Amino acid sequence: MEIYSNHKKLFILALGFFGTLTLFVAILPAMNNQQSVNILPGAKPLTPLQIEGKAVFIGEGCVACHTQQVRNLEMDKVWGNRPSIAADYAVINRTDIWRNTATLMGSERTGPDLTSIGSRQPSTDWHLLHLYNPRSVVKESVMPSYEWLFLNKEYPFPEETLVNVPEEFKSGSGKIVASHRALALVAYLQSLQQVKLPDGRPVPVFLYGKQASNASLLTGAKLSEKSQFDGEALYSSNCSSCHQPNGEGLVGAFPPLKGSKIVLNPDPNVQITIIMKGYNGRESEGYSAMPAVGTNNNLKPEEVAAIINHERSSWGNDSKQVSVEEVKKVISALK
Amino acid sequence: MRTKTKMMTVIFMGSTPATHADTISGYSDNEISAILLGLLMGMVVFILLLLSLWLYRLVTRLRSETRERDPDFQNWCEQQLTGLDQAEIDHLIARHDIRQKKTGGKSKFILLMIVIITTTKAHAQITPADAGLMKSPGMIIMLTLILIPLLLALWLTGIKISRIIARAQYRRIKKDISDLTNTAFADPEFYRKLIERKAALDFRLADSELRGREPVADTRGMLHNVSEVHSPRFLSSKRKALLPHELPPGTVKLILWYLASATVWLIIGTSIGEYLGIKFVSPDADHISWLSFGRLRPVHTNMVFWGWSSLAMIGLGYYVVPKVGNSHIFNLRIAYWSLIAINTAIICGTVSLMAGINNGGGEYREYTWPVMSLFTAGILLSLYNYFQTIGSRSTKEIYISNWYIVSAMMFIAIIAIVGYVPWWQNGLGETIVQGYYMHQAVGMWFMLFNLGLIYYFLPQQLNTPIYSYSLGILAFWAQILFYTLIGTHHFLFSSIPWWLQTIAIVGSVGMLIPVFAGTTNFLMTMRGNFNKIGRSYTLPFYLVGILFYFTGSTQGTAEAFRETNLVWHFTDFTTAHSHLTMYGIIAFLLWASIYTLVPRLTGKEPAQHWVGAHFWLALLGLLFYTIPLMIGGTLRGMAWQTGRPFIESVTLMAPYWLWRAIGGTLMWLSHLIFCWNMYSMTLRKTESEIRRKVLDAIDDSINITTAI
């Protein structure tokens, strides 16, 4: 054939073929998305501090291990209330002249998804401690330490944010102070929350609900009703990053549940209220405010009961178990 | 254009959650494909069984070889007598008065045999357990792919046993002979019989009529470096490279500069990769911002992509492109500028990434646009050079290598432009482009270019034409058609339009066509030449590259199905896959080409045992790296589906991450050896070079004395 002996024609043909396909699978869909998808009415643009924080997030390459997308899969339910939709990302535009748009959706989940980390873990103190050395709060973590976002000062100014790092993780003799960049990064992380869809708009569904249980049967783990309300696992997912798996908390940051008066109280009213509403009564002792974990993470009454019963029967605690009905009653009273 | 955009909008609007559910149910009911794939897997299992049977037969033979002989010695000797031929009897008689020492030692072989038997048994046990595990097509393809190396392993074990049998047989016969010699010495009756038998057999012509009387001489210079080895060889000797090519020294120098730069980036890039692997095991290895995981990871990927693989490819291209068109490089100066641009881009990119300046986090798109523009400029310069070289070819047709190579160069320029131009990058547009960019960069640049190189180097190395030129053409167009579509399969179940995800899956399945066509073409070219593999130090690299081209690419298809993506997406399985392909295919094929080409450019060969060490360390390292990550990734994906706390899936990975670090270390060591081999192929002074120098010096001194 003539075309195989004419290099100009041959290469123009190949280029045209590739170019046309490129146009239809990449450029046009991208432009279409850019033009046709609107920002959700509830979406808030980032504040200047949060924008700085996002720049730190991008610069440190956090996206290598953390995704920011809730797929429409049952298994992704732990990362958000609903699957992410195109409109969630519509608010994100080009970073600056040097840097491209950063939707930060990611392609590897070595660490947890961060789509709604702001509601899952709103505590500044926790984030700072975790950034200084992740293993100080989560023993098994393989995340890098971001020590260079902190300063080591003998005499910090009163307005500076101190981080109460346990001795074994601390380097240097002075006090650990969060830099502006660290605070900005935390502000950005706290801003990561899912926007509620406007009323009347259909919420996308999570798929493969049944498949998930099939898969778990194959691995040999029995996903029964019981394990869904496995207090230990729920505690590990929702509570242990602050209160620690051994229930002892972290000195000067997060109070212990082991031997806690509130946990040992036979009347679960206060305990349930704190889980659902949060608590800041011990800030004067140096303990951080507790976020409303139950509300933020949409815990069901059954789940709250399982967590409470785990706390009441572990680490030497031996207190009266609560029933789901009791929990339901207290929660409805709170509303 | 406008109407087209509108049409897309309509399609986009149509993709509501309701249709999603329909698509899925239609998909999972695809029983037929599951049955077909089940059959495929059944076939592989069947071959496995056949191989096991063969192994069993070999083992029984081995046992019979090492068995004790008939206790009635007298009877045995008589039997042997009739079995011996003339020469053997001659030998026995000649040795009549010489006592032979007996040799023993079988325990070693039995021990080895036990090891082999137990390992094969262990292999056989894995297979049936896996068979009933999952019904989804992707999983079945995956398991089949895992079984293929197993087949290879069984086959290799078989060959090893055959060799052991051969040795055992040799020992047995040696012992028999020595017994017979002893008997002939000790027993005069037997000796008499021996003489009688010899007389009977001796009756024949003298056989000296045809014997030549002239001394042997190599009058044509056909023999080189005849070496006599008087001790057993530990390594079998491989065929030497052919005589050096007559290329202009400028061209040789240019290609070597490209390959040397590539080698430097390989060493630095994989040292960083090795360190990153260690960080999974020891996250507190350092607390230095420039060395933190998030910053170094893109340094590693971009360096081995744009530094090592790309420069090695372009350098080899500067040999292949003029060679297959029977012309010369259009302009050497442009080629050097291209090299400088790309090297500068890598240096700037690396420093800026380590300083925390990146483009926003899309994989392989971490370099900012000024850096990537420099890289693209380098590509365009070389593209222009290639294009002009092809324009000045003296053949009529354009050999298929040049289709692949020039297309790859054009496409990477397009890909970089599409990936970096800001007009379609807001919101999800960025993600759609990211899917396109990251996958096209892999498949339309590295894979396409390497295929071009292989279409030249493989036939050249085998000294045989490519099996089917048309199959190559089919693979070329099919690759463009299907590969361009598959980018978004990295974002399945994300907020990207559902129809776009489906197109990507369809394209991924379509990729089987070019992959099967390419693999068939290469294997059929090798057919009838497999005996050359054992005698060559380059061909094993080609074979491994082709094998991984098949398994790695098919694995990509397997991963793209929605059901398998559920398990594997976001896990280290993807990391394993990218190493299987970028390393197993691209790096191995590049090494194959480099070991083929460089000795012919410089006339210097690497020491074959170092090439062997490079090969085995790289291959074993890759297997140690990828297989644990695939297992761990699968378990992790399954753990996520059970809804257990996330941190459990992190602790679950710990042993697999450790294995990855071990495999990575082996790979890294192999690169150091490769670096040494590059040195011995280029800068290292060989004996003949020194000899020539000495001769030149003598010539000079003679000239001086005669001048005086």
> Residue B510: which CATH number?
1.20.210.10
For residue range B402-413, list pLDDT tens digits in order: 999 999 999 999
**Residues B198, B296: one domain?**
no
Q: How confident is the model at residue B106, as a pLDDT?
A: 43
- Whether B210 is in a domain gets the answer no
> What is the percent of chain A with per-residue pLDDT over 90, rounded to a whole number?
32
Residue type, B543: L
* Contacts of residue B264, Cβ cutoff 8 Å, sequence gap at least 6: B307
Q: How confident is the model at residue B707, as a pLDDT?
A: 67
**Residues B437, B306: one domain?**
yes
**Residues B177, B272: one domain?**
no
Is the CA virtual torsion B283, B286, B288, B291 positive or negative? negative
**Residues B258, B195: one domain?**
no
Is residue A185 within 8 Å of residue A131, measured between CB atoms? Answer: yes
**Residues A120, A239: one domain?**
no
- Whether A23 is in a domain gets the answer no
Alpha-helical regions (H) of B243-391: 249-281, 293-302, 310-324, 332-354, 369-391
**Residues A163, A282: one domain?**
no
**Residues B139, B269: one domain?**
no
Question: Is residue A168 scored above 70 in pLDDT?
Answer: yes
Question: Is residue B32 scored above 90 in pLDDT?
Answer: no
Q: How confident is the model at residue A223, as a pLDDT?
A: 43
Q: Do B358 and A99 touch (CB under 8 A)?
A: yes
* Contacts of residue B376, Cβ cutoff 8 Å, sequence gap at least 6: B412, B413, B416, B417
Q: How confident is residue B229, by pLDDT bands cut at 50, 70 and 90?
A: low
Paired with A177 in beta bridges are A151, A162
* Beta-sheet strand order (sheet of A175-178): A150-153, A175-178, A162-163
**Residues A300, A239: one domain?**
yes
Q: How confident is the model at residue B3, as a pLDDT?
A: 41
**Residues B524, B633: one domain?**
yes
CA distance B213 to A226: 96
List CB contacts (< 8 A) between B358 and chain A.
58-59, 61, 99
Of residues B689 and B430, the one with the higher pLDDT is: B430
DSSP B646: H
- Whether A31 is in a domain gets the answer no
Q: Which of B670, B628, B671 is nearest to B652 (CA)?
A: B628
**Residues A187, A282: one domain?**
no
- Whether A157 is in a domain gets the answer yes
Is residue A90 within 8 Å of residue A39, measured between CB atoms? Answer: yes
Is residue B582 within 8 Å of residue B446, measured between CB atoms? Answer: yes
Mean pLDDT on B417-435? 93
> What is the percent of chain B with per-residue pLDDT over 70, rounded to a whole number?
84
Q: The tokens of B562 are what? A: 């929605």
Tell me how far CA of residue B621 lies from CA of B114, B161, B625, in angstroms: 26, 25, 6
Q: How distant is the Cα of B595 from the closest Cα of chain A, in angstroms?
A: 30
Q: What angle do CA B140, B142, B146 make, to 5 degrees?
A: 115
Question: Is residue B153 scored above 70 in pLDDT?
Answer: yes
Q: How confident is residue B232, by pLDDT bands cut at 50, 70 and 90?
A: low
For residue range A193-247, list pLDDT tens digits in order: 988 888 767 778 888 775 444 444 444 444 444 445 788 888 888 888 888 888 8
- Whether A33 is in a domain gets the answer no
**Residue B56: CB atoms within 10 Å:** 12
DSSP helix, strand, coil percent of chain B (3-state; round to 5): 80, 0, 20
- Whether A2 is in a domain gets the answer no
Q: How confident is residue A120, by pLDDT bands cut at 50, 70 and 90?
A: confident
Instruction: Note every long-range contact of B70-78, with CB atoms under 8 Å and residues 24 or more positions apart, other chains counting.
Output: B73/B179, B73/B183, B77/B179, B77/B180, B77/B183, B77/B190
Range of the domain at B69: 33-202
SS3 B331: coil
Q: How confident is the model at residue B534, as a pLDDT?
A: 80
Of residues B666 and B29, the one with the higher pLDDT is: B666
Of A14, A140, A211, the CB nearest to B647: A140
Question: Is residue B27 scored above 60 in pLDDT?
Answer: no
Mean pLDDT on A276-303? 82
Question: Is residue B468 scored above 80 in pLDDT?
Answer: yes
Q: Do B495 and A83 touch (CB under 8 A)?
A: yes
Question: Is residue B4 scored above 70 in pLDDT?
Answer: no
The chain-wide mean pLDDT, for chain B, equals 83
Of residues B352 and B220, the one with the higher pLDDT is: B352
DSSP helix, strand, coil percent of chain A (3-state; round to 5): 50, 5, 45
**Residues B255, B196: one domain?**
no
DSSP per residue, B177-227? HHHHHHHHHH-HHHHHHHHHHHHHHH-S----TT---SPP--TT----S--
Q: Which of B286, B423, B438 is nearest to B362 (CA)?
A: B438
Mean pLDDT on A22-39? 91
Is residue B404 within 8 Å of residue B451, measured between CB atoms? Answer: yes
A166, A191, A216 - which closes a domain: A191
**Residues B538, B612: one domain?**
yes
Mean pLDDT on A139-149? 93
> What is the percent of chain A with per-residue pLDDT over 70, rounded to a whole number?
94
For residue range B580-608, list pLDDT tens digits in order: 999 999 999 999 999 999 999 988 889 88
**Residues A177, A232: one domain?**
no
> What is the percent of chain B with per-residue pLDDT over 90, rounded to a whole number?
51
Q: How confident is residue B228, by pLDDT bands cut at 50, 70 and 90?
A: low
Q: How confident is the model at residue B148, as a pLDDT?
A: 77
CA distance A109 to B245: 51
Q: How confident is residue B23, by pLDDT bands cut at 50, 70 and 90?
A: very low
- Whether A3 is in a domain gets the answer no
Q: Which of B500, B571, B690 is nearest to B12 (CA)?
A: B500
Overall residue count recorded for chain A in this entry: 335
A191, A212, A243 - which closes a domain: A191
Mean pLDDT on B51-78? 78
For residue range A272-288, list pLDDT tens digits in order: 888 888 888 777 777 87
Of residues B419 and B158, the one with the higher pLDDT is: B419
Range of the domain at A52: 48-191
Mean pLDDT on B295-317? 96
Q: Do B567 and A61 touch (CB under 8 A)?
A: no
Number of domains in chain B: 2
A167, A191, A215 - which closes a domain: A191
**Residues B583, B659: one domain?**
yes
Q: Do A34 and B427 touch (CB under 8 A)?
A: yes
SS3 B332: helix
Give the residue from chain A lying closest to B567, CA to CA: A215
Q: How confident is the model at residue A1, as a pLDDT?
A: 63
Q: Are strands A162-163 and A175-178 parallel, antiparallel or unpaired?
A: antiparallel
List CB contacts (< 8 A) between B411 and chain A.
15, 18
Least confident of B23-37, B128-142, B196-210, B673-687: B23-37
**Helices and strands, counts by H and E, chain B:** 26, 0
**Residues B194, B316: one domain?**
no
Of B133, B294, B426, the CB nearest to A61: B294
- Whether A78 is in a domain gets the answer yes
Chain A residues 42-81 with CB within 8 Å of chain B: 58-65, 67, 69, 71-78
The chain-wide mean pLDDT, for chain A, equals 85
DSSP per residue, A201-260? SPPPPPB-HHHHHHHHHHHT----HHHHT-HHHHHHHHTHHHH-TTS--BTTTB---TT-
DSSP A162: E
Of residues B181 and B580, the one with the higher pLDDT is: B580
CA distance A68 to A63: 8
Mean pLDDT on A320-332? 84
Question: Is residue B281 scored above 50 in pLDDT?
Answer: yes
Q: Do A237 and B646 touch (CB under 8 A)?
A: yes
Q: How confident is the model at residue B629, as a pLDDT?
A: 95
For residue range A259-273, list pLDDT tens digits in order: 888 888 888 888 888
For residue range B69-126, list pLDDT tens digits in order: 767 777 777 777 777 777 777 777 777 755 434 433 344 444 444 444 444 444 444 4
**Residue B646: CB atoms within 10 Å:** 18
Is residue A69 within 8 Å of residue A113, measured between CB atoms? Answer: yes
Q: The tokens of A257 are what? A: 């549940």
Q: How distant is the Cα of A109 from the closest Cα of chain B, in angstroms?
A: 5
Chain B residues 533-592 with CB within 8 Å of chain A: 563, 566-567, 570-572, 574-575
Q: What angle do CA B494, B497, B498 make, to 5 degrees?
A: 80
Q: How confident is the model at residue A215, as a pLDDT?
A: 46
**Residues B589, B651: one domain?**
yes
Q: How confident is the model at residue B708, as a pLDDT?
A: 63
**Residues B190, B329: one domain?**
no
Of residues A303 and B108, the one with the higher pLDDT is: A303
- Domain with residue A72: its CATH number is 1.10.760.10
Number of domains in chain A: 2
**Residues A161, A244: one domain?**
no
Q: How confident is the model at residue B569, as a pLDDT?
A: 93
**Residue A229: CB atoms within 10 Å:** 18
- Whether B20 is in a domain gets the answer no
Question: Is residue A150 scored above 50 in pLDDT?
Answer: yes
Element (H, E) at A150: strand A150-153
Q: How confident is residue B280, by pLDDT bands cut at 50, 70 and 90?
A: very high
List CB contacts (< 8 A) between A104 and chain B.
360-361
